[in-house]
Structure 1
Amino acid sequence: MNSRLAGLLAVGALAGMSMMIAPIYGPIYLATLGLVDTRQVAIPLTLGSIAAVFASACYGAVHKRLGIAGVTVVSTSGMGIALIVAGWTGNEITFMAALVAVGALLALLALNLNASAVAFSTPHRETQAIGLANGAMYGCQMLFPFVAGWIRDMAGLNGVFFGFGLVMLVVGLTALAATALTRRGASAQVLA
């Protein structure tokens, strides 16, 4: 265990809980907007799943272009923004589009967690690191109803989307700052 892997586990736990927002709170939120037809309520989940397939298929190209840190920044920041938009809007189409974006970005983040686990682990411990990352991501889903319920009691239904969105956005901005500092430090060493 090292600090990078510990941070990865925290991001994995947050991603795992964020996976539960659309299937649990999406239909409830749509009902508050007047959509109760189950065929219509299933649209964001269905389209989000399709978007996740396409995002997963594109992961190799995205990773090649942005690297592990870049994918982390884009996926977490993008999810943060999409979740904030979902909690803010009163429009069904905008809400659904935000959840579709969350589905695609979650797929990128989940694949990136595995790639990060391999990159951050010591040799011959890669499978253990992947197991830990996936254990954090899927194991923490059991906590979601309690965390989200607490947020909903404190800040309402919109607060669940805002709360997770703000945390994801902070994670993305923190990853961006850490990447910038690392690059600046590497540039300074090359010049020295």
Structure 2
Amino acid sequence: MGKTVRDLLLDILEELTGAQLKRFKSKLNEVQLKPGCKNIPKGKLEKADTDDLTDMLIEYYTDGYAPEVVHTVLEEINMKNLALQLFESVGRPEPEGQAAASSSSEAQSTAVEQDEGIHFVDKYKAEIIQRVTVPDSILDILQSEGLLGDEAYDQIRSKFTNQEKMRELYVKSRGWGKSDKDKFYKALRKEQPFLVKDLGEK
């Protein structure tokens, strides 16, 4: 029998040293969450060991959302190797150049990107604005793809909150066609895989 989401999250948390676990709990208490969710109280987190912490993650965020929360916190405390390990264990979307290059995966990707004529990034605009936690990484990709000039890039980066940055990005993207939105979607899929997976399953 395969491991449960709880088992996989516990495996990740047990990789953290004492100091790293302390940083994880501190960031978890203040991390941006999707609407309707609340941060675990600091008092509960302080004395929690990895078992208790895993139980609280599942209790507060469920099996479906807890991996995304853990991923976000790991990224923000610069534990990128563990974030990658979490992707691989829980189920990361196929990276480009591997199985996604096959015809069946390409068809599935297209179905995810566009539904009833509405592109993924348009259909879930409100959720993307509220829930993206690494807008700067997405902006870097879009600039490298030629979708954002230096001025637009700097204007978006100058915004204070993640939501303000994403709202400004949507303003700058009003003239984008399907191929440009596809690049936006791929950047989201790379940097926020759990978010894309969650929205795609709605």
TM over 0.5: no
Q: TM-score, normalised by structure 1?
A: 0.29
Higher relative contact order (CA 8 A, sep 6+): 1
User: Whose helix proportion is higher, 1 or 2?
Assistant: 1
